[in-house]
Structure 1
């Protein structure tokens, strides 16, 4: 993971980029958090979706080991795919007896079929050996916006990482009835929080109908801006937690 974080710096150097805004999902969010901790001056802000932070719990470790063995000996078999899909998406979108499988899950299933099983095995082995980043989170000097579905197996990880971040510069948006990949399952729930987040950098022009305050302003976070009403979300509301 540390090698990958260093490779991000090499990519930025290649393209002549001094500082960037980062967005990552799950393990990608973990790598970007590690990158931000190591290269603080090169990260303007972090948008993390269902981020990993701590060492794997024994249940996650065991699940990863089962998938690793399946991938190593059987390839991308049906059981391995189902375990990965359960990690990514909520039960409703995965379908069942009453609801058909969604197009998003069907597309993901096809993508998994095309993946090299040994590469996925290497990924799971690396994730299973990840170190805990908790101690370094307080030292992050960039603003952070975290999304997580309340049905994600990494929901507790998102709560933990939010509790460790500086409360003045971070906010957590929990999306109801959603799994880990909020970017695909409920992308509409991310629009207005990201809009407010970018306003704090002057990167997004404010519309007349929105509050003039940024939820991640340098002085304070305004959690009321994340209410379902202010975001125009009627079907699946979200809530924001501020670290205590």
Structure 2
């Protein structure tokens, strides 16, 4: 069972396509599957040059942080909204990174190839999380639409950036619980009306994924339910 975000999701998807017998499921956060758009390529090129000549500067850190997180957690000096703990932690982590390694990463991610056609051969179950403020939102939608015959589930988290697992981890709990129930790795409680896996024989009602039905206070999330296919279901 593999879990990865953005470039990590891209790598794990390729691994699952090549070694299908070794992967039973994918948990992907703001995944990418196409070659960079011109906007992303230019953005990466600008950051690479900035990094090459000036190292990990304050400007570079701001560009990376806004790629990862939404405005809600990045804060706003003019509105006197402080940045969140996760952003401060990310900023500190960037200070500790070797600039040449970050430069090599940006170079590699800018040269990635399109794996859309290969997605049709993906055999394992997949769940995709993405924030509606993520710059990779369209990438996640494109990937979900091209996942061949595999069972998949798509969860969009409102007011969230790319790193859903860091920014709103609680929004992942119920969808992940339902996703893992499809593998029967634990015995569910014995009562009527228990929701099944969203990619199992019967589809979990999308309204069960809203905060008022979760018992916790979360920003709303939503699922996109696709038409049924023969013997499989995509939600």
- What is the TM-score when the length of structure 1 is the normalising length? 0.86
Q: Deviations over 1:144-184 (max 9, x none)?
A: 00000000000000100000114661011000000000001
In structure 1, C-alpha distance between the alignment counterparts of 2:223 and 2:83, rounded to whole Å: 29
From 180, 189, 199, give the equivalent of 1:216. Answer: 199
CA distance change for structure 1 residues 204 and 182 in 2, over 3 Å: closer, same or farther? farther
RMSD of aligned alpha carbons: 1.7
Tell whether 2:7 aligns with 1:55: no
> What is the match of residue 110 of structure 1?
92
Tell whether 2:162 aligns with 1:180: yes
Tell whether 2:165 aligns with 1:196: no
CA distance change for structure 1 residues 176 and 147 in 2, over 3 Å: closer, same or farther? same
* Unmatched segments (≥5 aa) in structure 1: 1-20
From 204, 208, 220, give the equivalent of 1:237. Answer: 220
SS at 2:28 equivalent = strand
SS at 1:151 equivalent = coil
> Does the 8 Å contact 1:89/1:178 carry over to 2?
yes
SS at 1:174 equivalent = strand
> What is the match of residue 91 of structure 1?
71
Q: Deviations over 1:165-224 (max 9, x none)?
A: 14661011000000000001000000011111111101244246772411111x354342
Q: As a proportion of its length, which structure holds more helix? A: 1
In structure 2, C-alpha distance between the alignment counterparts of 1:189 and 1:171, rounded to whole Å: 14
SS at 1:177 equivalent = coil
Moved more, 151-160 or 201-210: 201-210
Counterparts in 2 of 1:11-50, with a 5 A limit?
A: 21-50=1-30
In structure 2, C-alpha distance between the alignment counterparts of 1:45 and 1:60, rounded to whole Å: 29
> Does the 8 Å contact 1:223/1:241 carry over to 2?
no
CA distance change for structure 1 residues 193 and 235 in 2, over 3 Å: closer, same or farther? closer
Moved more, 231-240 or 66-75: 231-240
- What is the TM-score when the length of structure 2 is the normalising length? 0.89
* Unmatched segments (≥5 aa) in structure 2: 228-235
> How many pairs are equivalent?
223
> Does the 8 Å contact 2:124/2:150 carry over to 1?
no
